[in-house]
Structure 1
Amino acid sequence: MAQDYPLEELSPRAFEQMTIAVCEEVFGPGLEAFGAGPDGGREATFRGLIRWGTEPDDPNVWDGYTVIQAKQREHHSVDPANNLSWLLKQIDAELEKWLDMSSTRASVPDHLLFVTNARISSAPGAGIDRLTAHLAKWLDNPASGDPRVTLRKRGLRQIRVWHRDKVNSLLTAHGSVRNGFRALLTVGDLLERLTQISDTLRPDELHPFLHTHAGAALSAERWVHFQEAGGSDRESVEQIVIDLKTTDEDATESTVLSEIFTRSSAVLKPMMADRVERPHVVITGRAGSGKSTITKFVTQAFRSQFAAEESLPPTARHVREATEAAFRGLGTDGPTGRRWPVLIRLTDFAAAIGPSGDLMLLRFLADTISRRADIDIKPNVLKRWLTSWPSIIILDGLDEVTALEVRPRVLDAITYFVEDLENSNADLLCIVTTRPSSDAERFMPERFRQLNLTSLDRETAERYGRMVTQRRLADDPDRRDPLLASLERQFSLSTMQRLMKTPLQVLIMTIILERVGTLPSDRYQLYSQYFDTMYTREAGKPTTLAPLLASQNHAIIYLHETVGRVLHIKAETSGGEKSVMPRGQMRELLDARLTELEHDTDRLRTQIGDRIMQAATERLVLLVPAEDDGFAFEVRSLQELMAARSLVKTNDANLRTRLIALAPSPHWRATWVFMAGYVFSNGTDEQREMIVHIVENVDIGETWPGWLSPIGPELAAALLDDGLATQTPKWLRRLVQVALRALTGPAPRNMQAFADGLTAAASADSTTRSLIRNTLIQALSGTPRASHTARFLLAMTKLDAGISQAALRDATEPILSRTSETFDCLGTVLEDHISSLPEPGDAVVALRPLLDALNFYHAPPFGSGEVGVTLVHNDTVTDNSTAQLIDDPHTAALLEVLIASLPLESWRVPHGVSVIYERGAGRRPVSDQLD
């Protein structure tokens, strides 16, 4: 997508100057500017030939006297129709003056060019088409009814308008113009100043440039987009951020901002005598939980602090002041340490590293700067800076790097990056974000502390609901005020409280409540009804697209669902490439569907297809234009929803096959739960029974070693968390029983997910609540593994009323003290117990390859017994290769017996092997099993 420059940041005079500078670049020598003061309706004039085409013989030329006028809208609207109305009034006023015979203006020009910052729609029949038709009529409009006096008869031959998108493209093409206006400088422009830097540059010489970089980024990179919310298309992040509550491995509650700001205030150099243990942070959160928003705000907070003593342009200064005001509203002082911040999308890095590459993260940063600055920045220059000045490096979206061949390389690159800077004694704070489905990795547990974003509590959800409504509908009190009143009435409903779990879900709820007036009962219906609401809204607008949405809803809905499925399959193996569907492929899918619907003629199918594709160039409900002339979903959860709706539309036998095939995959987990949600919302009791039966028995089959790494309890917890069976006790209690298997099987890899699911189930009725609570309390006095799990779940679910925290500690501390040993190598621990097998000699031979591989893994305990598994870097052993060894039936059978023979206190060993297997096998593509 083209760069959108903040043209409103320019003063009226600067906007005129920018207009003249751009025209001079486009038209060439001969432009005459009129400067400040009365200009007779002219910012500049040009006499000569203007070629609008690129070919020398292009007939689209102006030859003669051309007048250029600038029309800047001080408060730019995000509504293209509103912009068009404003622009037409501005142009009409100017043309009336040119038409007025008594005007003191100079002679009427041959051509008029208006340059504006207003964005108008390019949809057929909308903004640009209406503007073109309007201008054409003006040429022959008579003055005061006198047909002898028209603009055309007075000499005006043509009128053009450069609207916002055109101005943006010209500014991008003509960097020399852009560089003259500080408000328009992008980070890439500022990086051009690195041409003064040599490989021998000292860090203190780099410092001033990086201050400038931070200040510019404050203006350009602060936006959070709300295009799908029905309101303004973007908001500055400090206006809509909320501090999110977290729990750590000890189930200690905090907030993400306080954790990061407190951690950042310390000196994190590893060679400090009083060093901070595990200085870095992994933030896990479900889809829509606000990970990207909070990390964007954290980056902005550190940029504000980093540039605090610098002289900033007005917009950056305003953002810094607004950020400081946000700190006060959030009840935090903000960061106290001046760290240089960098925010990296890991999908971009994954796409650059590829499945067979060996690109280091530091090189990626250097290469990125080099491409944008058109100079060669050496990695050692950046490394010298990072080792000389405190920094915070934020790596966002590890969960979106799913390809089996690429993900380990990305993890290795992050590991090397952190270790290399720590070995250089850098004062580094690294933050990684991911979804809970990736929790099993416990990324670098000896260096990273894990913070799990919890579901929004009622107070926070209500506050966010009010805030986002006020921001989204700030300019529309007739919609805003009734919605706020409705929200107040709805907040106390149990349905509302079950669904107010993430900022995205709260936002969607406000949209549905405004349009429909009632709320769905589970997460699938929430997202699905959101799509329906957005579809109905677009179909009800007085636009040329509305009749198409109404008449071709089957084809358009099918297109959304199929594109969602295809893109999610692609994302499974894409190696980090963004999920974008090329225009040609989407057209093929559309044509195939129109053919299936048996439209009468090829011509009719082509016409309908052309109209739908043309509509998609601006927006087609949830599908939006993306880079490289493609299309994508702006929100990943909506892609997963559409994939689920596509996959579930088949016969029961195929549906069962698909559900079983997708069940082990973290990549498909959210889609799997959406598929189950569809069945519970729209299916029969027989189909609901099929879902529950799969959950109960998925670990018994031969396709996945449920004895080692069970997935049934995880699926049950996810379904409970989504509220699917809340109103149906028959299936609710069966799902609860499956989820509680986590107390007798391997310990959950994601405690928070289980806690969320059990909490949601406990809210259904008192019987279910008592069942869950009593089972957890009984487990406190059970095996070390069961006690460990129960302690955390009781604390997280808040179901331990009547049991003191001291009693919980007393029940677990003796067990923890007996099991606090650190296992150097998993393979060694297992081999020490092989003598208990019937034929230990043969078992050692058969298990040797696996034992050798497991000796590259360590399972150190940390945080009251939590376990992380660390792979010692080598060139031969990977999680997938280790999982492949376990896939051998003979090896698996021996391993199962060996694990069963371990002492109860050694439960961390099978837990570690379970984590390794899930990390390796769980990332294997499974979409080839979809018919």
Structure 2
Amino acid sequence: MQHNLEQLGPYGFEDLAGALAIARFGPHVQVLGPGRDGGRDMYTNSPLIWSGSDTGPGEVWQGYTVFQVKHKARVESEPRRNAEWLWNRIRKELEEWADPESNREKVPNYFVVITNVSLTPTPGSGGEAIVNNNITNFIASFDDDSRDVSEAARRQRLARRVRLGRIRQWRIWDGTQIDALLTVHDGVRRAFKGFLTAPDVFASLAQFTDKLPLDELGPGLHRHARTALIGERAIYFDEAGSGDTAGTPIDQVAVDLPITPGPDGQMRTVVRYVLERAEHVLRPSLTMIDGPRHIVIAGGPGNGKTTMSKFLVQVYRAALLEGDPELGSEHRAAVQGTRETLRLLGRPGLPTHRRWPMRIDLAEYAKEEGLSEDSTLLRWIAHKVTKRSNVGSVSAGALMSWMRQWPWLLVLDGLDEVTEPQTRKRLISQITEFVSDAESDNCDVLAVVTTRPMGYVENIAPHHFGRIDLARLSTAEALAYGIKATQVRLKNDVDKTERVTADLRRAAENEALRNLMQTPLQVLIMTIIVEGAGRLSPDRYSLFYGYYDTVFRRERSKPIPFARLLQEHGAHILDLHQRVGFELQKSSETSAGATAAITIDDLKAIAWNILKEAGFEPSTTDATLLETIVIAATHRLVLLAPHGDDGLGFDVRSLQELMAARFLATGDLAAVMARLRVAAPSPHWRNVWLFTAGQLFSEPQPHRHERLVSLVETIDDDAEDRLGAVCPIGPALALDLVDDGMARAQPRFFGRLLRRGFQLLNMPAPADPITVARALIRAADISDQTRGLVADALRAGLAADDVSRATTLKIQECLVPAAGEAGVGRRAKGLNTIRGKRPRPAPPPDQDSWQDYGEILEQLAPSEPTLEGILRDADRAIRGLRTVDDAYKAAPAIELALRDRELASILEMAVAQIARANPRLVALMRDEVLPSIFRAPIGERLSAPR
């Protein structure tokens, strides 16, 4: 055959079959997407007209026609075995259609089987004749009453005969027929790049890019893919302090991360999910995907989003270059290693639907490009290709033409790291524009965005993007990853590997420690701590700080020039990490500092202050000590590492956040609480906030615990500048603390936090209900007492007014997938079946609440004309809130009013009057207006004297 139909894979071949059926018969052929299809991949109720030939007229099928697609991964060399394989699959379909108790209520009048195997045409004895005769004989077998051993058997046979009697005719499109159809329908053939080998891709590049000159595009794309295959293959375990400086091939450590199960409870994994989506042709004119084509992957700190994004791109580089004769031995090893890893992950090998892959670090993009008004994602991609390929300039226009012709995978990593409000808005706008333009130009593009779920309320272009959430690792998955990572890190040290593995297994048997084995980063840190003979603590803060202590002790004991520095100045080195962590966290609030690196001069200034405060003279007698610290940092100083030309920083964001948290926790307790009150609303500072809270809970200081819990309980009081009484943040904070596990050993505080968290059930449905469900289901699994508390809260929510009931039902829908993810016990799983009493009466009519709202504004409006005008504009904006677009336009006027304390107090009182009767308006305020306030830079306010 001319075309390699095996290479397309099952998904690509199914898409090809659909495209050919539509091209042959017209758009009335309905193509069904993935999922249970009731025995049909395509169907039509319209007439099908078959072309005639020189020997006879064509046929017209008038009735219900079903198309079924059968793809064989490896076609046999012996034709008879291919025919047997196809017949076995057709027979299963016929048995299903015959069975009255199957889910196939409607039996077709006609069916077409489309397959990639070729049937020999020999009359009477060829594969085509054998399969057709078998179908005829199978249908006729239900006329045979010789096996009717009872009246029940007779009735069953007759029922099957009646059902199959509806079939009037069938046809088989085998591989030979598909080959011929592809020759006729050249537009379909050109859409499926899986037919091409790597040399085809680049040798015929001019054909695929609208005759663009090869010297502009071809060498650049080829060199970029080949260079990145090696240059971006390695990840560094020393990002987590293992001391590995050579780097480890990403294919040796890649794992397939679990996804939160869907409503059906089916377990899914992210690599499989993305690769299966990418195997489909996503060109709008041909795609078989019903619904959003692009993906947002949400995962918490340390969930492995960046490693996963790098591996996905590496997979498609390997697929694109497989078979390229210009590859060196290292390139071929990378392709082979990636292929073998995919097989270990349960995939058949490299993707068959090749895509040109590109990964964009969004923090780097925000910093370097600045997201100016005339910048675009495509221009940045062209810049990155040009920079990496070193063969001259590749223009955005050339890439646009390339994208129109060739499938792409674009991974946009780290949306959560772009936090400055205006920069973030421009970035999301550019992402939306990119996918919209790609759709308008009929491009086969798959875009994948990664983000932390905290603060992701924008719900980017929901008609373009669907969201999936990374689940926490099961104990078995965590153990498997920990053992694999240990084997890779320690290589040939069998004794140490066995010891770490044994310690990790013991930790998995301890309930408190098992609760920490949730993310790849945390599991990796556990292995490093036990390798260094350290002790594991049962809370997240202590785990991360124990990791710092382990790495510090390891570096201090090494025979290196800086060991003495660590021995004599450990406290100053820790202080340096804390201050640098805070400064980087502060600077990354802005687009210019999004990549979180500090210059050598700034590091020197911080070190100078630390030494001066300790009584040294860093400008004179102790200048050598200052220089030694700076020199050590330029090589690696515990967790601080060089970041290319940008300076120094932390390779793992969570470790930067840990050190920033320790900085916030220093000083007088009242000052610490004041900082936490300021930082609480900010999604950028939320993980820092949780680490700070963890540090407070890690010490036996009940008065600190009491102050922290009281802060959570009162944090929305006197918070008019963010409408705290209407859109409180305290309940979500409380559930974060509950889910973090830091207060589990102290029931009095744990219960108070849990009850504060239950107040989320009385608010308009949160934008991220799965996060709430996760916290509730895991709390319920702790004990019968906490399960009872959660059950009572759900009953109360269901019995409250319409707003609370709707929110509680939404969260209840997420309890099943959350329970499946957490592997909780049977009693906790039953929380989704709880039903409440009859709801309370609905709130007052909408017009009454708006009347009260208006009276408050009228009575309390300031006399000063400017302020009165600002309040009037905010009132007009609030009254106009109907949609997300309205909220985007209204936000500036509302934000301006909230900046004035007097106006904010008036607005909060007024909006409180309409909140219960207008839950959608409150949700728009919370999710579309207030996030800009929450994301406003606060670093300077947190820098107050300790």
Q: Does the TM-score normalized on the shorter chain lie above 0.5?
A: yes
Alignment partners' CA distance in 1, 2:667 and 2:919: 42
1:712 aligns with 2:727: no
How has the CA–CA distance of structure 1 residues 535 and 202 changed in structure 2, closer, same or farther, with 3 Å as cutoff? same
How has the CA–CA distance of structure 1 residues 380 and 872 changed in structure 2, closer, same or farther, with 3 Å as cutoff? farther
Moved more, 786-795 or 675-684: 786-795
Alignment partners' CA distance in 1, 2:776 and 2:836: 22
Q: Tell me the equivalent position of 1:787.
A: 809
Aligned AA (1:787): L
Q: Tell me the equivalent position of 1:348.
A: 364
Q: Which one of 242, 261, 281 corresponds to residue 255 of structure 2? A: 242
Please state how far the C-alpha of 1:272 moved relative to its aligned partner.
4.5
Q: Tell me the equivalent position of 1:771.
A: 789
Q: Any idea what SS the aligned residue of 1:450 has? A: strand
Q: Tell me the equivalent position of 1:917.
A: 929
Alignment partners' CA distance in 2, 1:450 and 1:459: 26
Q: Tell me the equivalent position of 2:403.
A: 386
Q: Tell me the equivalent position of 1:723.
A: 741
Aligned AA (1:924): A
Please state how far the C-alpha of 1:519 moved relative to its aligned partner.
0.9
Moved more, 526-535 or 361-370: 361-370
Alignment partners' CA distance in 1, 2:635 and 2:832: 61
Please state how far the C-alpha of 1:215 moved relative to its aligned partner.
3.7
Write out aligned runs for 1:310-325 (5 A). 310-311=324-325, 312-325=327-340
Q: Which one of 255, 270, 282 corresponds to residue 284 of structure 2? A: 270
- State TM-score, norm by structure 1: 0.70
1:553 aligns with 2:570: yes
How has the CA–CA distance of structure 1 residues 741 and 590 changed in structure 2, closer, same or farther, with 3 Å as cutoff? same
Alignment partners' CA distance in 1, 2:391 and 2:880: 43
1:751 aligns with 2:769: yes
Please state how far the C-alpha of 1:879 moved relative to its aligned partner.
4.8
Please state how far the C-alpha of 1:429 moved relative to its aligned partner.
1.0
Alignment partners' CA distance in 2, 1:502 and 1:620: 26
Q: Tell me the equivalent position of 1:8.
A: none
Q: Which one of 290, 305, 309 corresponds to residue 295 of structure 1? A: 309
Alignment partners' CA distance in 2, 1:581 and 1:195: 45
Percent identical among aligned pairs is: 33
Aligned AA (1:222): R
User: Is contact 1:754-1:793 (8 Å) kept?
Assistant: no
Alignment partners' CA distance in 2, 1:491 and 1:570: 38
Please state how far the C-alpha of 1:531 moved relative to its aligned partner.
0.4
The alignment of Structure 1 onto Structure 2 pairs a total of residues equal to: 715
Please state how far the C-alpha of 1:573 moved relative to its aligned partner.
2.1
Please state how far the C-alpha of 1:701 moved relative to its aligned partner.
2.0
Q: Tell me the equivalent position of 1:696.
A: 713
Please state how far the C-alpha of 1:692 moved relative to its aligned partner.
0.5
Alignment partners' CA distance in 1, 2:234 and 2:340: 17
Please state how far the C-alpha of 1:490 moved relative to its aligned partner.
2.2
Aligned AA (1:741): Q
1:282 aligns with 2:287: no
Please state how far the C-alpha of 1:360 moved relative to its aligned partner.
1.2
* Structure 2: gaps (5+ residues): 1-200, 862-868
Please state how far the C-alpha of 1:639 moved relative to its aligned partner.
0.8
How has the CA–CA distance of structure 1 residues 398 and 544 changed in structure 2, closer, same or farther, with 3 Å as cutoff? same
Q: Any idea what SS the aligned residue of 1:617 has? A: helix
Q: Tell me the equivalent position of 1:686.
A: 703
Write out aligned runs for 1:653-664 (5 A). 653-664=670-681
How has the CA–CA distance of structure 1 residues 894 and 308 changed in structure 2, closer, same or farther, with 3 Å as cutoff? same
Q: Tell me the equivalent position of 2:662.
A: 645
Q: Tell me the equivalent position of 1:447.
A: 464
Q: Tell me the equivalent position of 1:218.
A: 229
User: Is contact 2:302-2:522 (8 Å) kept?
Assistant: yes
How has the CA–CA distance of structure 1 residues 332 and 708 changed in structure 2, closer, same or farther, with 3 Å as cutoff? farther
Provide, for residues 595-617 of structure 1, a one-character-per-residue CA deviation record: whole Å limited to 9, x for no partner.
Answer: 22223796542122122222222
Q: Any idea what SS the aligned residue of 2:538 has? A: coil
How has the CA–CA distance of structure 1 residues 204 and 600 changed in structure 2, closer, same or farther, with 3 Å as cutoff? closer
Alignment partners' CA distance in 2, 1:309 and 1:706: 60
Q: Tell me the equivalent position of 1:735.
A: 753
Please state how far the C-alpha of 1:376 moved relative to its aligned partner.
3.8
User: Is contact 1:302-1:341 (8 Å) kept?
Assistant: yes
Q: Which one of 543, 551, 563 corresponds to residue 526 of structure 1? A: 543
User: Is contact 1:568-1:639 (8 Å) kept?
Assistant: yes
Aligned AA (1:358): D
Alignment partners' CA distance in 2, 1:804 and 1:552: 52
Write out aligned runs for 1:35-434 (5 A). 201=212, 206=217, 210-211=221-222, 213-227=224-238, 228-233=240-245, 234-247=247-260, 253-272=267-286, 276-311=290-325, 312-333=327-348, 335-354=351-370, 357-372=373-388, 373=390, 375-434=392-451
Aligned AA (1:915): D
User: Is contact 1:717-1:753 (8 Å) kept?
Assistant: no
Alignment partners' CA distance in 2, 1:613 and 1:734: 46
Please state how far the C-alpha of 1:327 moved relative to its aligned partner.
1.5
Alignment partners' CA distance in 2, 1:722 and 1:552: 33
Computed over aligned residues only, the root mean square deviation of the Cα atoms, in angstroms, reads 3.7
User: Is contact 1:563-1:586 (8 Å) kept?
Assistant: yes
1:632 aligns with 2:645: no
* Structure 1: gaps (5+ residues): 1-189, 819-828, 860-868
Aligned AA (1:698): I
Please state how far the C-alpha of 1:367 moved relative to its aligned partner.
2.9
User: Is contact 1:780-1:791 (8 Å) kept?
Assistant: no
How has the CA–CA distance of structure 1 residues 601 and 387 changed in structure 2, closer, same or farther, with 3 Å as cutoff? closer
How has the CA–CA distance of structure 1 residues 800 and 472 changed in structure 2, closer, same or farther, with 3 Å as cutoff? closer
User: Is contact 2:377-2:430 (8 Å) kept?
Assistant: yes
Provide, for residues 17-54 of structure 1, a one-character-per-residue CA deviation record: whole Å limited to 9, x for no partner.
Answer: xxxxxxxxxxxxxxxxxxxxxxxxxxxxxxxxxxxxxx
Moved more, 736-745 or 590-599: 590-599
Alignment partners' CA distance in 1, 2:816 and 2:287: 37
User: Is contact 1:776-1:794 (8 Å) kept?
Assistant: no
Moved more, 680-689 or 919-928: 680-689
Moved more, 878-887 or 461-470: 878-887
Aligned AA (1:749): A
How has the CA–CA distance of structure 1 residues 454 and 879 changed in structure 2, closer, same or farther, with 3 Å as cutoff? farther
Q: Tell me the equivalent position of 1:908.
A: 920
Q: Tell me the equivalent position of 1:74.
A: none
Alignment partners' CA distance in 2, 1:594 and 1:807: 58
Provide, for residues 496-532 of structure 1, a one-character-per-residue CA deviation record: whole Å limited to 9, x for no partner.
Answer: 2110111000000011112234311100000111001
Q: Tell me the equivalent position of 1:128.
A: none
Please state how far the C-alpha of 1:357 moved relative to its aligned partner.
4.4
How has the CA–CA distance of structure 1 residues 601 and 839 changed in structure 2, closer, same or farther, with 3 Å as cutoff? closer
1:590 aligns with 2:607: yes
Alignment partners' CA distance in 1, 2:453 and 2:610: 36
User: Is contact 1:461-1:503 (8 Å) kept?
Assistant: yes
Alignment partners' CA distance in 2, 1:299 and 1:858: 40
User: Is contact 2:225-2:317 (8 Å) kept?
Assistant: yes
How has the CA–CA distance of structure 1 residues 196 and 549 changed in structure 2, closer, same or farther, with 3 Å as cutoff? farther
Alignment partners' CA distance in 2, 1:355 and 1:294: 26
Aligned AA (1:716): A
Please state how far the C-alpha of 1:803 moved relative to its aligned partner.
9.3
Please state how far the C-alpha of 1:369 moved relative to its aligned partner.
3.2
Alignment partners' CA distance in 2, 1:511 and 1:457: 20
User: Is contact 2:880-2:886 (8 Å) kept?
Assistant: yes
Please state how far the C-alpha of 1:918 moved relative to its aligned partner.
3.3
Moved more, 298-307 or 654-663: 298-307
Please state how far the C-alpha of 1:397 moved relative to its aligned partner.
0.7
Q: Tell me the equivalent position of 1:82.
A: none
Provide, for residues 118-158 of structure 1, a one-character-per-residue CA deviation record: whole Å limited to 9, x for no partner.
Answer: xxxxxxxxxxxxxxxxxxxxxxxxxxxxxxxxxxxxxxxxx
Please state how far the C-alpha of 1:892 moved relative to its aligned partner.
6.9
